[in-house]
Chains A and B, each alone.
Chain A
Amino acid sequence: MSPLILILLLPFLSFVISGLWGRKYLKNLAGILSTTTVLASFVISVTTAYRYFFVDGKVAGKFVAQYPVDFKWLEFTPDLSIHLGILIDPISVMMLLVVTFISLMVHIYSLGYMKGEERYATYYSFLSLFTFSMLGLVVATNIFQTYIFWELVGVSSFLLIGFYYSKPSAVAASKKAFIVTRFADLGFLAGILILSYYSGSLEFKDIIARYTDSSSPHLQAAISSSFLGVSALSWGLVLVFIGGAGKSAMFPLHVWLPDAMEGPTPVSALIHAATMVVAGVYLVARLFPVYAISCPAALHVVAVVGVFSSAFAALIACTQTDIKRVLAYSTMSQIGFMMFALGVSGYGGEAGLGYMASMFHLFTHAIFKALLFLCAGTVIHFVHSNEIKDMGGLKKSLPITHIAFLLACLAISGIPPFSGFFSKEEILTAAYHHDKLIFWVAVVTAGLTSFYMFRLFFSIFYRGEENTHAQSHHGEGTSSMLAPQIILAFGSVLAGLIPFGKFVTSDGVGLEAHTDWNFSLLPIALSSTGILFAIYFFMKDNDKAEVLASKFGSVYISLKRKLYIDEIYEFVTKRIIFNLIAQPAAWFDKNIVDGFINTIGKATQVFSLTTSVWQSGKVQAYSAWLLAGTLVVLIMCLYYLQLL
């Protein structure tokens, strides 16, 4: 058994121990325990990554997949079985690093942030559960294992969003997240069934091999059978993408993500910024050869949904006043970037730039977005509020957070030489070569990104005076809260310098990244303009922003109301589904089904009440009935024998 299995087992162990005995026996030790296990997982991941990328990953100049663990779990027929295993290839190794690293940072941060919490051990056990399931998801060797861990990730997300279960809004948010992603997972499951039905296998390697070989009978079958004029393969891939879109908060399944910010802030950093929400991107990337080679139409859907979500979320982010919601929409926008980067990519060589850029952006985004959330956590910890209007002028009180937040904002805005610049730059290049429309929307969105991020930055740290009433007395927080921010800040600055194309590409062959400064000029200029606008509107205490907002009037309000998507969902679910389907169904259930059962129950009750009188416990009554019965039987016998 490969030691790699420990990466998964350690967090699971921690989940079981802190979950079962944490609250009673471990108490504060639960945090240390979980953090240690995640640290161990991280160390193993780093060694794995080193060995894979630098020692034994390459075969003939190409990174190939390895299967250190492959265990046959359920065998249906000799041809069809479900395995559980560990798949090591460039993207899974990259994800292992990201997940264990961000998880470690969040674990450390939570040591300070969640201190004094009553359900401290429960919190850590949930975090460990999440880490375990996310790691299981990224190393899955087959699509069914992916699905299992996919759902586990959803469950732990649900548990952590609803962690403050005494708050009604948190309960509502956790339910919403669960139901929306479950709904999307229905599509995923259907997609799995279609893909595996036509390919005859659940293994990723078989699915990819059988669908990308144009002469294979599986591919022919999947293409030739169609439903509503669309081939089965396209249906399968689009349905799988719907599952991914649900987890990755793509339009129109994004509604749960902003509400998910009800969870503790470190959880938002881990789950709803860096790791779980990119699972959809990862899923598409995992099946990428099938999308790219056999079904460009499905890939085009990915691109369109991605770029639309990106722009859509960026617009809304400009108007939100809850800092975590701004970050949530920003996350959605950045995931949109990753999605359409995949969508515009081809397979192999230079054409595969988009794929590499998407993974690169996933990597850098995880770092700087986690940092942004952790900084936001510190700010919220300090002022005890999520609203921008309660903040302002915090630069002096929170110097380290201030610097870290600034670095992260620069990174997300794509200002060189910060990490976001390199990844975003490559995404834009890929888009430019593929589709000009997508490129222009993306560039404008990038400009908007820097605008809303710096709006947030200035509103928190500069504008106005520090509100001395609201602030608490514990300053910037413990060292366990500051250390992850500092580490992540370094990461945000430096991660872009990694020659990512050498390691992660669509076909495993290295790709030389080349920065074309002439091309980069436009995005940088737009981003800088966004920053300047933010400085103009939000650096000093003035009413320019309000004036601008009132000029736009209805547009501003509708953006602020998140373009009424929630209201539309409300309308559809409450008015249409609830009134027209659920209520009649409930009526039927209550009156017909329950009525039938209740009638049976009542009849039985009446019958038994009647007969229970006979069971009085009175010996004399019993013997009287016995005698009477005997006499009756006697009479019947006599009558039968014709003696009477």
Chain B
Amino acid sequence: MNSIPLIHFLIVSTALFFIGVYGFFTRINMITMLMSIELILNSVNINFVAFNKYLHPESNDGLFFSLFIIAIAAAEAAVAIAIIINLYRTHSTIDVEDANEMKL
């Protein structure tokens, strides 16, 4: 099972991270931006787990970090969606470019 070197995992997670970044920069709809953020968080999780498994298998820290990140991501997604729903109620849109009241 160690036939796959660590570096491949890291490359995959980096690629996923920058896919998320690309989405975050180009998406205008807030929900799709949130999805991009989920991708970024998942890429980080892969990293944690891979490092844990390949470099320090004697402990379980990377695994626990991933677990907590998933929990926090759930909370974050819930809050974000609450905000999105509220914004939609007041502005009838969830495009970031339209939420510009505080801009000159």
Contacts and interface: CB of A to CB of B under 8 A. Distances in A.
- Tell me if chains A and B make direct contact, with any CB pair below 8 A: yes
Interface of A: 616-620, 623-624, 627
A624 B25 contact: yes
B1 to A, nearest CB: 31
Contacts of A623: 24-25
Interface in B63-104: 96-97, 100, 102-103
B21 A618 contact: no
A627 B103 CA distance: 23
Contacts of A618: 96-97
A620 B96 CA distance: 9
Query: Quick one: which of A616, A617, A618, A624 has the most chain B CB within 10 A?
Result: A617
Contacts of B24: 620, 623
A616 B103 CA distance: 8
Interface residues of B, number: 9
Interface string B6-46: 00000000000000010011000000010000000000000
Nearest to A612: B104
A33 B21 CA distance: 80
B33 to A, nearest CB: 8
A619 B96 CA distance: 8
A617 B103 CA distance: 6
Contact of B21 (A617, A619, A627): A627
Contacts of A617: 100, 102-103
A538 to B, nearest CB: 77
**Top 5 nearest A-B pairs by Cβ distance?**
A617-B103, A624-B25, A620-B25, A617-B100, A619-B96
Nearest to A620: B25
B13 to A, nearest CB: 17
Nearest to B97: A618
A618 B97 CA distance: 7
A506 B96 CA distance: 91
A215 B25 CA distance: 95
B54 to A, nearest CB: 21
Nearest to A616: B103
A618 B33 CA distance: 13
Nearest to B104: A617
Contacts of A620: 24-25, 33, 96
B97 to A, nearest CB: 7
Contacts of B102: 617
Given A620-B24, A620-B33, 13 more contacts: A616-B103, A617-B100, A617-B102, A617-B103, A618-B96, A618-B97, A619-B96, A620-B25, A620-B96, A623-B24, A623-B25, A624-B25, A627-B21
B26 to A, nearest CB: 8
A295 B76 CA distance: 95
15 contacts: A616-B103, A617-B100, A617-B102, A617-B103, A618-B96, A618-B97, A619-B96, A620-B24, A620-B25, A620-B33, A620-B96, A623-B24, A623-B25, A624-B25, A627-B21
A623 B97 CA distance: 15
A644 B24 CA distance: 28
A617 B33 CA distance: 17
A619 B21 CA distance: 13
A627 B24 CA distance: 12
Contacts of A627: 21
A627 B102 CA distance: 24
A616 B97 CA distance: 10
Contacts of A619: 96
A70 B21 CA distance: 82
A619 B25 CA distance: 9
